[in-house]
A = this chain, B = another copy of it.
Amino acid sequence: MPVPQHTFDPPFNIVRASHAVLDVVDLDASRAFYETTIGLHVEDADANTVYLRGSEEHQHHSLVLHKATTAACARLGFRVGSDSDLDRAASFFAAHGIVHGFVERPFQGRTLHATDPFGFRIELVAQMDKRPHLLRRFDLYKGCHPQRLDHFNVFAPEVQDTINFYARLGFRLTEYAEEDGENGRIAAAWMHRKGNVHDFAITNGAGPRLHHFAYWVPNPMNILHLCDVMASSGYLANMERGPGRHGISNAFFLYVRDPDGHRLELYSSDYQTMDADHEPLRWSLRDPRRQTLWGAPAPRSWFEQGSVFPEQEVRPALFSADVRIAD
């Protein structure tokens, strides 16, 4: 199957993955998990919402926890280049029959909501309230020292169409997993806007669902320490997979589940991909190093569970290729 070619002239300029908005059923429990154990910085909070960010982030928040009756991934947030990109995006969505609308959100500039043709709920912002970064406030570092939100990874039933849609929005392919043979189908794709391995990864599977969102941490020792801390503070069952090394993206990773089961990846290492002639790396679905360079298998939950999006019905995957591919 031909590898999707991204456009160099997208209809509007998405800069990067920016923030996740999660519905959580026990706000205190979620805040304790992300603030004390993971180590994100709480920038603001009220009775229904907690706003957090990583140490290098200048923006007000990269994670929003909303109190809700049902756990879900409310929105995947992306940063666009400028305010006019928001208008161009609205025009593009209108021209393509995509449900969208401007909303107001605290601490954010104009915010454009949209539900893509596959049911992924996104929001676009050009501006967010600024805060001084906390990189040099080492006295505040906690948990695994999360530095910035890096990417989202979703389960998509119509994986090829979803990839094609985001390629049209300018997302570039860096790595992909494919069935062998002439008619081999792409089963997962890692796509970026910001110049590293990914802002958005799309995996064959029942969806639309969020597989995980990921924070970048400075080094593997921070991740090992998080394992120790989680094991000794009542979060043993929340450690789902890792630590280990992915073949894909070369990341040192740990996957943990928050109190609602939302999956968070802590990961370190990466590489640059901004050259115009950067070529995507193909993985055969049969190459086990893709998922885990060191050989340890991932648990079944990791392949099957994910966060639903509110009001979006989950459809089964279109094909039954081994779905054990999402990294």
Contacts and interface: CB of A to CB of B under 8 A. Distances in A.
Interface string A257-295: 000000000001101101111110000000001000111
A136 B236 CA distance: 13
A135 interface: yes
Nearest to A132: B281
Interface string A216-234: 0011110011011111110
A278 B272 CA distance: 20
A292 to B, nearest CB: 9
A16 interface: yes
A22 to B, nearest CB: 22
A310 B271 CA distance: 33
A250 interface: yes
Given A16-B274, A219-B219, A274-B195, A294 B239 contact: yes
Contacts of A250: 56, 135-136
A231 B56 contact: no
Interface string A232-243: 110011010001
Contacts of A247: 136
B275 A15 contact: yes
A166 interface: no
Nearest to A147: B271
Given A127-B277, A271-B148, A272-B56, A232 B294 contact: no
A252 interface: yes
B279 A130 contact: yes
Given A224-B220, A224-B252, A272-B194, A294 B233 contact: no
Interface in A189-236: 194-195, 218-221, 224-225, 227-233, 236
Contacts of A224: 220, 245, 252
A81 B276 contact: yes
A268 B252 CA distance: 16
Given A136-B247, A136-B250, A221-B221, A271 B56 contact: yes
A100 interface: no
A139 B295 contact: no
Interface in A104-148: 126-127, 130, 133, 135-139, 141, 147-148
B276 A126 contact: yes
A293 B194 contact: no
Top 5 closest A-B pairs, CB basis? A138-B228, A139-B233, A219-B219, A56-B271, A138-B232
Given A136-B232, A138-B225, 18 more contacts: A15-B275, A58-B275, A79-B275, A81-B276, A82-B276, A126-B276, A133-B271, A135-B250, A138-B228, A138-B233, A147-B271, A194-B272, A195-B274, A219-B219, A220-B220, A224-B245, A230-B294, A231-B293
23 contacts: A15-B276, A16-B274, A56-B272, A58-B275, A58-B279, A126-B276, A135-B250, A136-B247, A137-B232, A138-B233, A139-B232, A141-B225, A141-B228, A148-B272, A195-B195, A195-B274, A218-B269, A224-B252, A227-B293, A228-B294, A230-B294, A231-B293, A231-B294
